[in-house]
Amino acid sequence: QVRLVESGGGLAQPGGSLTLTCVASGFAFNMYQMGWARQIPGKGLEWVSGISGDSSDIWYADSVKGRFTISRDNAQNTLHLQLNRLRQEDAALYYCTKGNRWSYREVDSWGQGTQVAFGS
C-alpha cells in the first residue's frame, strides 16, 4: 500500500523559511519521480516542484524558482522541500506526490498534506 506522509508545515513569517518532509512507503521509491503541489482554498491546484528518481532532473514552477529547493534521500525514502524567502502567496496546503506534472509517468498517489500559514 502506497503511503505518503508530509510534515514540517506550520506558521511562517514573510521572508522566513520552512522545510517540508515526506516519508514514503509501499513502493520502490527510487524508481519513481516525486513532486510537491499546493492548494489554496478557492484556487486550483498548483504544481510546485518535481524530481527524478536519481535526482538528475529537477523542475520548479516559475513562482518558486530560486526560493524553494527539492531534494530526496533514497536510502531513507524521504522527499524534502526547503522553502526560503517565503511570501504570503506561498500559504497553502502542500502535498507530496508520487509522480509530478513534468513526469511521463502518471501521478497516482498523494499525501494528506501539510499546511503552511503566516503569522507573527
What single string gives the DSSP state of each residue in 3-26?
EEEEE--EEE-TT--EEEEEEEES
Question: What is the model's pLDDT at position 120?
Answer: 59
Per-residue pLDDT of the chain (120 residues; tens, 9 = 90+): 999 999 999 999 999 999 999 999 999 999 999 999 999 878 889 999 999 999 999 999 999 999 999 999 999 999 999 999 999 999 999 999 999 998 888 899 999 999 999 985
pLDDT at 54: 97
Tell me the C-alpha distance between 98 and 54, whole Å: 14
- Residues constituting the chain: 120
